[in-house]
Amino acid sequence: MSGSSLVDKAQVDPAPTSSALSVRARGHLAGTDPAAPYASPALADLRGLPPLLIQAGSAEILLDDAVRLAAHPGLDVVVNAAGIMLPEDVLDGRSLKVAEDTIAANLLGTIRMVYAFAPHLATREQAAILTVSSGLAFVPLPLTPTYSATKAAVHSFGEALRVQLAGTSVQVIELVPPAVRTTLMNQENVEAAMPLDDFLTEAMSLLWTRPDAHEILVEKVQPLRYAVSDGTYDRVLSLLPAR
């Protein structure tokens, strides 16, 4: 209950001050030694304890849902489309929360879904996991650095996943959208973004006609996707806004 993180976080959430946390901690401890293992595993000597069940977060809840869904014998495709995209300013500490939430939704969300569903999918005769990255996985948008980083990570995770699952019935397909007119970052009416219907028509047609494709790349995303190999990366990056 000390240190700079409390001060930093005060901008984001003024509630957990050092003195308020001390009062709450004393209430929870109810006279127990703060170093007792169940009170504070970080401080305790854990040698000799029996195995502990650690409730690490929402992944366990997701797993319950997955087990329930897996009871439906027809489940053979999982699409990891959930995502958020928000601007960040690394000079403003409040953006750190945006960065953390973005990693949780876009990257951890995808990874948790794969862990939850892959065992069931591998029992199916034919199955697929669709990940959704972005052209920004290949050239980052400076305005959304963590968003872009999560999409690069989703690309990398999917590449490794495809190789791990190569001996199973599960195909791994990466959908790589360009800017599309959705509510993601309020770009429903942005002229430069691709109309949603056009994107869906082209993407679905690629899925039909190239069933073994690793990546679904509509024409409009190709300048970003191939910027590195085309030698245009520096120029494309310099054109993307930071603010």
Name the site residues for ligand NAP (rule: CB under 6 A). Answer: 81-85, 105, 109, 132, 134, 177, 179-180, 182-184, 193
DSSP 168: S
Q: CB neighbours (10 Å) of residue 78?
A: 20
**Secondary structure percentages of the chain, helix, strand, coil, to 5:** 45, 10, 45
Q: How far is the CB of 209 from ligand NAP (least distance, A)?
A: 21
Are 49 and 67 a contacting pair, CB within 8 Å?
A: no
CB-nearer residue toward ligand NAP: 40 or 182? 182
Q: Is 147 noted as a catalytic residue in this protein?
A: yes
Residues 38, 147, 226, 233: which is the catalytic one?
147
Q: Which one-letter amino acid corresponds to residue 62?
A: L
Are 75 and 116 a contacting pair, CB within 8 Å?
A: no
Instruction: Concatenate the DSSP letters of all residues of 28-48 into one string.
Output: HHTT--TTSTTT-TTTS--TT
Q: How far is the CB of 211 from ligand NAP (least distance, A)?
A: 21
Q: How far is the CB of 167 from ligand NAP (least distance, A)?
A: 28
CB-nearer residue toward ligand NAP: 66 or 193? 193
Structure tokens at 35: 């170093």
CB-nearer residue toward ligand NAP: 134 or 171? 134
CB-nearer residue toward ligand NAP: 115 or 122? 115
Judged by DSSP in three states, 130 sits in strand
Listing from the earlier edge strand, what are the strands of the sheet with 215-216?
77-80, 127-132, 170-175, 215-216
Q: How far is the CB of 208 from ligand NAP (least distance, A)?
A: 20
The residues, any chain, with a CB within 8 Å of residue 93's CB and separated by 6 or more, are 8, 11, 12
Q: How far is the CB of 23 from ligand NAP (least distance, A)?
A: 32
CB-nearer residue toward ligand NAP: 96 or 184? 184
User: Which active-site residues does the annotation give?
Assistant: 147
